[in-house]
């Protein structure tokens, strides 16, 4: 019965959740092109995002319009950027992760099965919690898809991409099918080759100090962000578990309060009420830490990977350029195919220089964005932690006051 409720695809976004969210990145909202996800619908195994665009650019037929897109279509767009040679010199905004409601759904299902074995209050409580968890995951996935689009819209070059415009405007299904097995296998091998290659390329010492520094920095940074992201997830998980325990304790205290024949009955009821409230706050603390810290780290894990990919592409271009130079020297020495070698060398040189130029700017922008995002999120994290701790404190002190007065 519960599954049906979800399948009806209720609109989970309240009024306050609409509008540009840009959770993890500090982006300038540019009037010429504004993109956001105004609505989202959750169906059995897919999520439908309503992508809403406002633009004064002449490229579009209207100034304001919306289309419905699914996750696969975002991936298609991302992959089209990656595969485009023209964009080799840019940090491609990382693709949003696949919406994953499996765990949440499983829990809801288990709850439904176990309905008979618990009291009505317990059941309702747990159901509310699981629904809240589902909602939180839902909001997150919406935010991550939105951030991707905003990044693209904010990028001076990518925003002009034709595929992007089609994505925003074409109001039919893009008929983008997910990759089949063969294609997935190809991807896998591509990645293997790329990482092996990446190691070779990384070994090439760069004459340019800036890039040499960035290479060293990004490698270490990426690994550390990965570790911090994993550890913060574990920490938040423990926090949620503790909040769940407090929930159970509150329930049992309530029962004790209703059963006790001594003065303790009022006492237990009051404390039970307190724990109900503080538990909600603890759950909010865990959720906010998740949003402001864990998600931030996850995002920069993906972005730092995208930056590494950029460096890899530049490194690849550098190797090609150096090889072309060697080839030219050889051709000149043998006086054979010199023109061809010269052309190759020129092409490689241009490619390399083009990538280097834009890569430098991209990496500087990356740092600016990163610092701004961390600043915003750390400040908001601290403010929320303070807000919740003060809330908790007030509840505790007021309860203590009442209990002391009762004696």
Partner 1 sequence: MSEERGSSAQTEEDEDLFVSAMESPEAARLSAEDLSPSSNGPRDDDPDDLFAEATEEVSLDSPERQPILSDGPSPAITPVSISPRVDVFDRSPDLDEEEEENRDTFDIQISVSDPEKVGDGMNAFMVYKVTTKTSLSIFSRDEVCVKRRFSDFLGLHSKLASKYMHMGFIVPPAPEKSIVGMTKVKVGKEDLSSVEFVEKRRSALERYLLRTVKHPALLKDPDVLQFLESSELPRAVSTQALSGAGILRMVNKAADAVNKMTIKMNESDAWFEEKQQQFENLDVQLRKLHVSVESLVCHRKELSVNTALFAKSAAMLGNSEDHTALSRALSQLAEVEEKIEQLHQEQANADFYLISELLGDYVRLITAVRGVFDQRMKTWGKWQDAQLMLQRKREAEAKLQYASKPEKLQQARDEIREWEGKVQHGERDFEQISRNIRREVGQFEKERVKDFRVVIMKYLESLVHSQQQLIKYWEAFLPEAKAIA
How many chain residues interact with partner 1 (CB under 8 A)? 58
Q: What's the CA gap between 99 and 73, in Å, rounded?
A: 13
User: Whose CA is closest to 258, among 115, 121, 134?
Assistant: 121
Q: How many residues does the chain have?
A: 407
Give least dist CB 229 to partner 1, A. Answer: 9
Q: Please tell me whether residue 192 binds partner 1 under the rule CB under 8 A.
A: no
Specify whether the CB–CB gap between 312 and 255 falls below 8 A. Answer: no
- Of these, 68, 246, 338, 349, which contacts partner 1 (CB under 8 A)? 246
Q: Please tell me whether residue 245 binds partner 1 under the rule CB under 8 A.
A: yes
Question: What mask of x and - would describe binding to partner 1 in positions 254 to 283, judged by CB under 8 A?
Answer: -xx--xxxxxx--x---x--x---x-----
- Which residue lies nearer to partner 1 by CB, 241 or 350? 241
- Which residue lies nearer to partner 1 by CB, 166 or 219? 219
Query: In 3-state terms, what secondary structure has residue 56?
Result: coil
Q: Please tell me whether residue 330 binds partner 1 under the rule CB under 8 A.
A: no
- Which residue lies nearer to partner 1 by CB, 44 or 213? 213
Q: Give Cα 357 distance to the centre of its chain.
A: 28
Q: How many CB atoms lie within 10 A of CB 336?
A: 10
Token pair for 125: 């409580």
Applying the rule CB under 8 A, the residues between 197 and 236 that interact with partner 1 are 213, 217, 220-221, 224-225, 227-228, 231-232, 234-235
Question: CB under 8 A: which stretch of 114-122, 146-154, 193-201, 379-387 binds partner 1?
Answer: 379-387
- Of these, 65, 123, 312, 374, which contacts partner 1 (CB under 8 A)? 374
Specify whether the CB–CB gap between 206 and 318 falls below 8 A. Answer: yes
Q: Please tell me whether residue 375 binds partner 1 under the rule CB under 8 A.
A: yes
User: Whose CA is closest to 156, among 38, 58, 28, 36?
Assistant: 28
Question: CB under 8 A: which stretch of 51-59, 311-319, 340-348, 386-394 binds partner 1?
Answer: 386-394
Q: DSSP letter at 170?
A: -
Give least dist CB 325 to partner 1, A. Answer: 32
List phi, psi (to 5°) of 129.
-65, -45
**Stretch (H or E) spanning 47:** strand 46-55
Q: DSSP letter at 22?
A: -
Applying the rule CB under 8 A, the residues between 120 and 139 that interact with partner 1 are none
DSSP β-bridge partners for residue 365: none
Specify whether the CB–CB gap between 304 and 282 falls below 8 A. Answer: no
Applying the rule CB under 8 A, the residues between 93 and 122 that interact with partner 1 are none
Token pair for 80: 């089209």
User: Whose CA is closest to 283, among 250, 230, 236?
Assistant: 236
Q: Which residues bind partner 1 (CB under 8 A)?
A: 213, 217, 220-221, 224-225, 227-228, 231-232, 234-235, 237-239, 241-242, 245-246, 248-249, 252-253, 255-256, 259-264, 267, 271, 274, 278, 367, 370-371, 374-375, 378-379, 381-383, 385-386, 389-390, 392-393, 396-397, 399-400, 403-404, 407
């Amino acid at each position: 019965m519960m599954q049906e409720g979800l399948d009806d695809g209720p609109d989970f976004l309240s009024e306050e959740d609409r509008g540009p969210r840009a959770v993890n990145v500090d982006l300038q909202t540019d009037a010429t092109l504004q993109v956001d996800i105004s609505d989202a619908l959750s169906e059995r195994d897919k999520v439908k995002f309503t992508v809403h665009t406002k633009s004064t650019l002449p490229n579009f037929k209207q100034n304001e319009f919306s289309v419905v897109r699914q996750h696969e279509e975002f991936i298609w767009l991302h992959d089209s950027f990656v595969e485009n040679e023209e964009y080799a010199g840019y940090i491609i905004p990382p693709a949003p992760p696949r919406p994953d409601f499996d765990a949440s759904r499983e829990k809801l299902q288990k709850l439904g099965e176990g309905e008979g074995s618990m009291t009505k209050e317990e059941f309702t409580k747990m159901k509310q919690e699981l629904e809240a968890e589902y909602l939180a995951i839902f909001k997150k996935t919406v935010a991550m898809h939105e951030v991707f689009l905003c990044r693209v819209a904010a990028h001076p070059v990518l925003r002009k991409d034709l595929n992007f415009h089609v994505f925003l405007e074409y109001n039919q299904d893009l008929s983008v099918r997910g990759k089949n097995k063969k294609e997935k296998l190809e991807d896998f091998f591509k990645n293997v080759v790329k990482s092996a290659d990446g190691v070779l390329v990384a070994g090439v010492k760069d004459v340019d100090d800036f890039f040499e520094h960035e290479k060293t920095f990004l490698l270490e940074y990426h690994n550390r962000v990965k570790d911090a992201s994993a550890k913060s997830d574990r920490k938040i998980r423990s926090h949620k578990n503790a909040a769940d325990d407090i929930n159970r304790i509150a329930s049992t205290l309530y029962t004790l309060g209703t059963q006790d024949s001594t003065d303790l009955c009022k006492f237990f009821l009051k404390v039970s009420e307190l724990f109900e409230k503080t538990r909600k706050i603890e759950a909010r603390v865990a959720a906010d830490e998740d949003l402001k810290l864990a998600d931030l780290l996850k995002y920069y894990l993906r972005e730092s990977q995208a930056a590494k990919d950029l460096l890899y592409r530049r490194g690849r271009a550098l190797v090609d350029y150096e090889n072309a130079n060697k080839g030219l020297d050889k051709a000149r020495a043998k006086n054979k195919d010199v023109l061809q070698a010269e052309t190759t060398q020129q092409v490689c040189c241009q490619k390399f220089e083009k990538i280097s130029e834009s890569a430098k700017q991209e990496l500087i922008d990356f740092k600016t964005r990163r610092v701004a995002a961390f600043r915003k999120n750390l400040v908001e994290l601290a403010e929320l932690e303070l807000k919740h701790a003060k809330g908790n404190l007030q509840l505790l002190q007021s309860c203590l006051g009442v209990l002391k007065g009762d004696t």
